[in-house]
Structure 1
Amino acid sequence: MRKTIATVLVATLAVTSCGAQVSDADSGTAPPGYPVTVTNCGRPMTVQKPPSRVVTNDIGITELMFALGLGERMAGYVVDKGQSGGVASSPWKADFGKVPKLAEKINREVVQGADADLVFAGWSYGFSEGTGFTPDTLAKLGIASYQLTEACRNGVGKQRGIMPPLDALYTDLQNLGKIFGVSDRAEKLIREYRKQVDEVAAAIRPGSPKPKVFLYDDGRDQPFTSARNAGPDEIITKSGGVNIFADVDDSWTTVSWEAVLQRAPDVILINDYGGEVGTVADKENFLRSKAGVRDLPAVRDGHFFALPYAALVEGPRNASAVVEFGRYLAGLRR
């Protein structure tokens, strides 16, 4: 049994700052096509009508709502300072300008203050036992949760990931399409993203060498990277490379520099996010200066490529990230 928590969204609950109470206005029959039930992190989730005051956490999650044209269904979003550059460069920048930014860190007070009827977040994408902000605590407040599929826990401690990352993206699009009554829009996006990814794969010559790729997010003493269940894994593999930590059954995770040295990557994909080390240039300089790491093939040959955080976490920029990184790897093969 996977250690996930799911919440049933009951439309007859009108959320207030003091909890939940029955609203006479919502006590009638369900809208046409409702109720609907989806599977979220292995558990059923039923909605009696489309949520109307959604609070999202993190840029990729928020962009999923915008890509589906659901900005009007949102009470607001939460992103931290490290994601401000991603908002400025977002294809949905106009939507970010229309929907209120509520805070830089999500918590119970933020979502209650927004009168949220649904929180869309994920484990380590806002949900955390350490902060006490979990689907279970929200349920006690009468607020439903939808969990990002990339971050579903897989039953081994706090490890995350129950399916390949792009499948997680498509699953969330399908689920959100059903929850909000926009399935046609969701299926159209899925077809577009699959087409983009398939075209990159089709352009790779059979038998072409597959460079070993290390995703470097951040970290001086220990690097933070992508295992096989995080978005960068399929961004790398669909682009024609090999994720050097594809054997790790987790999502975003910490590894050792010794493991990086042993796997000797040919290319380093940098998460343009900031963090402890800093900018993309700071991260490149750090890798060039670190003993052992500076002798890796990727560092020695200057094979660095950067993508924004919003393109690497699960979200609607994943397919275009495959196109961009695929173009870079194709250039190395020439």
Structure 2
Amino acid sequence: MRCRSRVWSSTAAVVLGGLLAAGCGGEQKDTADEENAGKAVSGAYPVSVTDCTGAETTFAKAPGKIVTSNASSLELLLRLGAGDKVIGTGFPPGEGTLPADLDARARKVKVLSDTVIPKEKLLGSGADLYIDTFAAMDMGAGTGDAPTEEAFKAAGIKHIYLKSTACAAQSKSAVTDLSAVEADITSLGAVTGTGAKAKRLVAGMREKVDAVQKAVGSTAENERPTYFFFDFDAGTKQPFVVCNRQVANAVITLAGARNAFADCDGDYRQVGWEDVIAKNPDWIQLGVRNRGSEAANDKAFDEAERWLKSDSATKGLTAVKEGHFLRIGSEQTTIAGVENADTVETIAETLYPGKVN
């Protein structure tokens, strides 16, 4: 029986970037996922994947009609070459927010909801697979409760999670590498019969991360700069910080930095600016969500930097005084996906100039 954690954030900016959703509890049992690694490239079936508690979902053949909960799981399917099987999505990507080669294909996917897909619409979608990027939650906003596993079964819909995000909050240890992201890509490749592409995507990620680790991985912990992810779109009154169960912690760690809030157990937490001041980070990432164009993104980055330089609580921070800002989008840092590896590379190049090629 799958756990059904029901958490919903009313903060729109956080919803768009990460949906402060609690993951399923319990130890993960990845026997089925390990078997997928062998079946993925060959396209062999049956294929079984597990949820956060180890419960298995088995596929006798590739699904033909897929619905995704949001843009991140949709993007992974597009990258795998399985986008033609997606018949609908919630939380669609904004126009221009995906790489150009994916954006046109994403525009063709039917939008079932601009936010969480209402239960009745999801169950009546005709899908044979629903991919949850996050753990189950209270739908809120008049959309009713999330469907039960029994309701999914009655509708003929298999329901699986991306464990790199859905299970993260209740993990028993800090997330310091991208193995869970790679496992999700491999599992989706196995399920959709695109295992060869999944293997290439994972290999590309590992090549970038391994190069960074070779260059800066041996840097002593006390010599690594401290790093603060400033989620500008979540609001400036009280910052939301990424904790040690969030994929951003792995991105920051692999890049040779120290997440300023790595001592925070969980995925996200709202803190006070006095907590950030106490950390006094060496570097600050201006976490801005993609606005759909380079000009709009630059404007948002400018606004975030200007706020930090003008606010009485933050203008005295070491990173602010020294102009140690990184202009890297939120999505590729906090949403599990292929671009996490690119962000590792970008951060390392900035923090260790000349060391990372």
TM bucket (normalised to shorter chain) is 0.7 to 0.9
State the match for 2:13 in structure 1: none
Letter in 2 for 1:148: L
State the match for 2:351 in structure 1: 329
Q: Distance in 2 between matches of 1:195 and 1:333?
A: 16
8 Å contact kept, 2:72–2:336:
yes
1:129 aligns with 2:138: yes
**Aligned 8 A contact 2:68 2:88 in 1:** yes
Paired with 1:91 and 1:160, the residues of 2 have a C-alpha distance of 35
Alignment check: 8 A CA contact 1:36 1:179 kept: yes
Structure 2: distance between partners of 1:135 and 1:325: 41
| Correspondence for 1:184 | 196
In the alignment, structure 2 segments of 5+ residues that lack a partner are 6-23, 25-42, 292-298
- Look up the match of 1:42: 53
User: How many Å separate the matches in 2 of 1:258 and 1:139?
Assistant: 49
Secondary structure of the residue aligned to 2:332 is helix
Give the unaligned 5+ runs of structure 1.
7-31
1:238 is aligned to 2:233: no
Counterpart in the other structure of 2:68 = 56
Paired with 1:97 and 1:187, the residues of 2 have a C-alpha distance of 26
SS of residue matched to 1:176: helix
- How far off is 1:4 after superposition? 5.3
Q: Secondary structure at the match of 1:293?
A: coil
1:119 maps to a residue whose letter is Y
**What count of residue pairs does the alignment treat as equivalent?**
299
1:307-322 maps to which residues of 2 (within 5 A)?
307-312=328-333, 313-322=335-344
Q: C-alpha separation between the residues in 2 aligned to 1:214 and 1:106? A: 29
The answer for the alignment partner of 2:318 in structure 1 is 297
Equivalent AA in structure 2 for residue 46 of structure 1: T
Distance in structure 2 (CA, Å) of the matches to 1:252 and 1:300? 26
Give, in angstroms, the shift of residue 160 of structure 1.
4.3
Q: Amino acid of the residue matched to residue 298 of structure 1?
A: A
Q: Which residue of 1 aligns with 2:33?
A: none
> TM-score under structure 2 normalisation?
0.74
Secondary structure class of the residue paired with 2:97: helix
Q: Identify the residue that residue 255 of structure 1 maps to in structure 2.
A: 271
User: Is the alpha carbon distance of 1:128 and 1:207 closer, same or farther for their aligned partners in structure 2, counting shifts above 3 Å?
Assistant: closer
The normalised TM-score by structure 1 is 0.78
Partner of 2:159: 145
CA contact under 8 A between 1:161 and 1:249: conserved in structure 2? no
Cα distance change on mapping 1:186 and 1:210 into 2, 3 Å: same
**What corresponds to 1:280 in structure 2?**
301
Q: Secondary structure at the match of 2:315?
A: helix
Matched, 1:265 2:297: no
Q: Is the 8 A contact 2:287 2:327 kept in 1?
A: yes
Report the Cα distance in structure 2 between the residues aligned to 1:207 and 1:153, rounded to whole angstroms: 30
Letter in 2 for 1:272: V
- Contact conserved, 1:86 with 1:309, CA < 8 A, in 2? no
Paired letter, 2:259: N
3-state SS in 2 of match to 1:202 = helix
Q: How high is the sequence identity, in percent, across the aligned residues?
A: 27
SS of 2:344's partner is helix
- Secondary structure at the aligned position of 2:352 is classed as helix
Tell me how far 1:3 sits from its aligned partner: 4.1
CA separation in 2, counterparts of 1:221 and 1:146?
A: 36
Aligned mates of 2:241, 2:355 — CA distance in 1: 24
The residue that corresponds to 1:13 in the other structure is none
What displacement does 1:144 show? 2.5
1-side partners of 2:91 and 2:327: how far apart?
A: 21
Where do 1:4-153 residues align within 5 Å?
A: 33-43=44-54, 44-79=56-91, 83-87=94-98, 89-107=99-117, 108-112=119-123, 114-123=125-134, 127-131=136-140, 132-133=145-146, 136=149, 138-139=152-153, 141-153=155-167
Question: Pick from 208, 221, 233: which aligns with 1:196?
Answer: 208
When the two chains are superposed, the root-mean-square deviation of aligned CA atoms in Å is 3.0
